[in-house]
Structure 1
């Protein structure tokens, strides 16, 4: 099985399924502040569900609520590290092909014991439903061997360094679902194992959650219950918070201006939306290390952050979340310096027996004089009559004839602004360029057909700290990079992964293989009757909700 494919699909799937929820609305109104909220619980919203079975649900807002009701073997913390949840102990054996797991003492909400059989049943159920958003997470699982009620082994088809990071699917009850033909009927999905129990569910209207007093982990004594109102869409979720009929919601950057600091608190967290600048390696100019270094050194990333993304992002030098234990903050990309950029440009040594006009240009459409100049320099080199000064002059002339095509999605305002900053920076060191603003469809076509020189693009990072998909997609062919990627895939310990990542990050940045820019921000907003710290991430936007209280 293609190991990279596993995590590529995971990147897409877990986006549609993950989340968390909160308690009912509560409380008294803040002094001198009108409010429609008078309940003693925390109020949340979700969209109308087709099912509340967490295995077959595909809606994000419902997934966030289901994460309150169902726990997983492992979960993702606020630093995007995978940590045990239902797991008491685990050990990776057989060179990464087996994980032995011991469960904590856990009860289902109906008082029965959660066992190894429930885990096996869940994996088999996901495998049976290929449209489950968790299906790709279990593709590499060959079997589960039950040792006893609390201990079992997960056997994998292929070695994969991030196998633990795939075990983040919710565990469901075999007793509740095994003999039911309709696993999506809400009546068969009222028993979970998480911090919140379903008190009542009224289809198309509301879901009431109460604290699980038999939860295996200690919860704060002041943890509040939750009321979830069912709404038609995301716009309604935002409107409900503005009108103070809901306490908390995930909002977009476009919605941010509607929430005033005096009335609302905004929690900013690092998303998985990674932005970078790609080089087209089918253009000979990018095969020259000094030319790539000149480009990277010429670009002012700080200005891109401030003016392109209006500081709503985090600068990064590698495609991993900056809080990840594998992201090395000490390994930096080339510093921004126009002086250094020009120095690198003066050291470029293109093979002058090759025509380095833009790969996306039709020679018939290029400046005839430019083509003639290049052909003359090629002839001169082939005849071995060119002096060193002649070659340097030829290279300088060739660079002056370049007109790099920069492509960007015209519907992404932040990337567009950033593209124009990059364009001006390149012109400052003598590299002419032209920006082409493309539709999403044309952008994809240009990328696939390699019809660009520089491309400003975005990736959604996998929840697993696996950057190999991006590294294999940049178009750079290099035996050393390939060996690094293979070593990373076959690593079996955190220390091995960490050491390999350090080598990769250093190699990528020193050789300017591509240019990492930022990871964009996401936002949670709550009204100020809610007190306490919430620690959201893209997997669980309500992480830490049990720590929240209601202002007296």
Structure 2
């Protein structure tokens, strides 16, 4: 009898042990690694890629873009254009915010009205005159005139919908206490290290398979790859080109890559001497051998750029001025500008391997025309803040036209109203460019819009406030057991329905 009881106890303990092991397996978090930490969880305060990739899991917008960049329903299940200025949006019913509040039209109005006073995102809706609540689930948006990119802009992560009560109750600390309607709920944040998210059990599309997500920041690209190889990470964003072949050769890993909607550029602060002289800016463009950058920094995974817009964006102008590598022409332009012996300056970058490599290449190339450029590396948050404040001379950054509309690729980067934080970190101003962009923005005539954007690109390439060096690819590596992860042209990845294989 005692023996039977003993065996029974052993059996029960074994079953309990199995259940605990199974429970532990189910609770394994999805660990994602990227190069920089997020800057805030308030989507109206920051729209840089590392930040958006986090809060994109927490919030939903009225609209979104699918993998083919088509506009599809988000929190708005349908919409109808009433006339040139008015559009009606019908909201989904019974959608819950993470604090239990029900989504209503008042939250949409609160969100868009709040955006108007946020320098980082106000340009997205600057043409909206009024947001009218028709009833709990119907919103009317009225623009000042026509507004060609309205739907595209409402699909932008900076326009995701906030809960009015949550923002008000946070009492100025909302950036650390985000409340959305998205598939994941904010849990906690170890600043500079990692962010924890947990599945939203009440998500309107159904609960996502993985219970917990950890998003870690590891600045050094090779260390990100090591984290993947050792199993510390399940997904790694932005694999360094030098590590691609190694990952492709690992049978336990998957590698994904496709052309992005963005570019990498060298920005020139047109309010700082000598960069206020167009001849100096043109000289710098002629002094850059892009082929070296593509070979060394990108390991031949990028292509030369000739315009701020990617060839994948409507309105791209393939015929704008192209600055061939020509040291003599660069020297002559510097001499004409009064700098026959060059000058001293600096190139700012953040802690990013590719940008470090590009800066080093540029430093060497600029020496051939007498420009002595030091390289200064800043932490990501400080980099974004200080370039927005205009403290730099030159800087290396990228811009992704995430809405798929040329307005977003040009207006926030080159319109004089967008100096600093929205994106015009070259502090470039040109009245003709402003007029072209303003006209295109309020027009719904797509042919006219595209003509304006092509002319704006022509002028920008002539005046060179920034040098578009390359059109780059986006890439991600994952463990083989990660399923349902797909790339998106915007570089903002959706983790809803990502799961672990049972195999």
Tell me, yes or no, if the aligned pair for 1:524 and 1:541 is still in contact at 8 Å.
Answer: no
What value does the CA root-mean-square deviation take over the aligned residues? 5.7
Whether 1:525 and 2:477 are equivalent positions in the alignment is yes
**Shift in alpha-carbon separation, 1:466–1:158, aligned structure 2, 3 A:** farther
Tell me, yes or no, if the aligned pair for 2:301 and 2:472 is still in contact at 8 Å.
Answer: yes
Please give the alpha-carbon distance, in whole angstroms, between the structure 2 residues aligned to 1:185 and 1:450. Answer: 30
Shift of 1:202: 8.8
Shift of 1:226: 1.6
Please give the alpha-carbon distance, in whole angstroms, between the structure 2 residues aligned to 1:161 and 1:419. Answer: 38
**Residue number in structure 1 paired with 2:358:** 415
Whether 1:546 and 2:497 are equivalent positions in the alignment is yes
Please give the alpha-carbon distance, in whole angstroms, between the structure 2 residues aligned to 1:515 and 1:51. Answer: 29
Q: 1:325 aligns with which of 301, 305, 314?
A: 314
**Residue number in structure 2 paired with 1:10:** none
**Residue number in structure 2 paired with 1:275:** 265
**Residue number in structure 2 paired with 1:227:** 211
Please give the alpha-carbon distance, in whole angstroms, between the structure 2 residues aligned to 1:477 and 1:518. Answer: 23
Please give the alpha-carbon distance, in whole angstroms, between the structure 1 residues aligned to 2:170 and 2:390. Answer: 44
Task: For 1:328-477, list aligned pairs within 5 A.
Answer: 328=317, 330-331=318-319, 333-334=321-322, 336=324, 358-359=337-338, 402-405=340-343, 407-409=345-347, 412-420=355-363, 422-423=365-366, 432-439=369-376, 457-458=396-397, 460=399, 463=402, 465-471=408-414
**Residue number in structure 2 paired with 1:535:** 487
Shift of 1:526: 1.4
Please give the alpha-carbon distance, in whole angstroms, between the structure 1 residues aligned to 2:266 and 2:29. Answer: 39
**Shift in alpha-carbon separation, 1:224–1:450, aligned structure 2, 3 A:** closer
Whether 1:100 and 2:68 are equivalent positions in the alignment is no
Please give the alpha-carbon distance, in whole angstroms, between the structure 2 residues aligned to 1:422 and 1:325. Answer: 33
Please give the alpha-carbon distance, in whole angstroms, between the structure 1 residues aligned to 2:287 and 2:153. Answer: 39
- Partner SS state of residue 374, structure 2: strand
**Residue number in structure 2 paired with 1:374:** none
Tell me, yes or no, if the aligned pair for 1:273 and 1:461 is still in contact at 8 Å.
Answer: yes
Tell me, yes or no, if the aligned pair for 1:297 and 1:334 is still in contact at 8 Å.
Answer: no
- Partner SS state of residue 540, structure 1: coil
Whether 1:71 and 2:60 are equivalent positions in the alignment is yes
Shift of 1:139: 6.6
- Partner SS state of residue 331, structure 1: coil
Tell me, yes or no, if the aligned pair for 2:341 and 2:370 is still in contact at 8 Å.
Answer: yes
Q: Normalization by structure 1: what TM-score?
A: 0.58
Q: 1:86 aligns with which of 44, 63, 75?
A: 75
Shift of 1:487: 2.8
Please give the alpha-carbon distance, in whole angstroms, between the structure 1 residues aligned to 2:187 and 2:298. Answer: 42
Please give the alpha-carbon distance, in whole angstroms, between the structure 1 residues aligned to 2:267 and 2:168. Answer: 52
Shift of 1:531: 3.6
**Residue number in structure 2 paired with 1:265:** 254
Please give the alpha-carbon distance, in whole angstroms, between the structure 2 residues aligned to 1:136 and 1:406. Answer: 35
Shift of 1:225: 0.7
Please give the alpha-carbon distance, in whole angstroms, between the structure 1 residues aligned to 2:238 and 2:299. Answer: 17
Tell me, yes or no, if the aligned pair for 2:30 and 2:213 is still in contact at 8 Å.
Answer: yes
Tell me, yes or no, if the aligned pair for 2:45 and 2:120 is still in contact at 8 Å.
Answer: yes
Tell me, yes or no, if the aligned pair for 1:120 and 1:144 is still in contact at 8 Å.
Answer: yes
Q: Which has the higher contact order (CA 8 A, sep 6+)?
A: 1
**Residue number in structure 1 paired with 2:454:** 502
Tell me, yes or no, if the aligned pair for 2:49 and 2:492 is still in contact at 8 Å.
Answer: no
**Shift in alpha-carbon separation, 1:247–1:487, aligned structure 2, 3 A:** same
**Residue number in structure 1 paired with 2:235:** 248
Shift of 1:73: 1.2
Whether 1:303 and 2:310 are equivalent positions in the alignment is no
Deviations 1:453-495 (A, max 9, x none): xx57445457552413544566888665454344334434444
Task: For 1:153-168, list aligned pairs within 5 A.
Answer: 153-156=140-143, 162-167=149-154, 168=156
Tell me, yes or no, if the aligned pair for 1:268 and 1:523 is still in contact at 8 Å.
Answer: yes
**Shift in alpha-carbon separation, 1:307–1:180, aligned structure 2, 3 A:** closer
Shift of 1:305: 1.6
**Shift in alpha-carbon separation, 1:146–1:538, aligned structure 2, 3 A:** same
Tell me, yes or no, if the aligned pair for 1:275 and 1:519 is still in contact at 8 Å.
Answer: no
May I ask how many residue pairs the two structures share in their alignment? 436
- Partner SS state of residue 488, structure 1: helix
**Residue number in structure 2 paired with 1:170:** 160
Tell me, yes or no, if the aligned pair for 2:196 and 2:215 is still in contact at 8 Å.
Answer: no
Deviations 1:339-366 (A, max 9, x none): xx97x899x9x9xxxx95654x6xxxxx
Please give the alpha-carbon distance, in whole angstroms, between the structure 2 residues aligned to 1:310 and 1:132. Answer: 37
Please give the alpha-carbon distance, in whole angstroms, between the structure 2 residues aligned to 1:55 and 1:483. Answer: 26
Tell me, yes or no, if the aligned pair for 1:320 and 1:467 is still in contact at 8 Å.
Answer: yes
Shift of 1:413: 2.5
Please give the alpha-carbon distance, in whole angstroms, between the structure 2 residues aligned to 1:448 and 1:542. Answer: 33
**Residue number in structure 1 paired with 2:419:** none
Whether 1:116 and 2:53 are equivalent positions in the alignment is no
- Partner SS state of residue 541, structure 1: coil
Tell me, yes or no, if the aligned pair for 1:81 and 1:324 is still in contact at 8 Å.
Answer: no
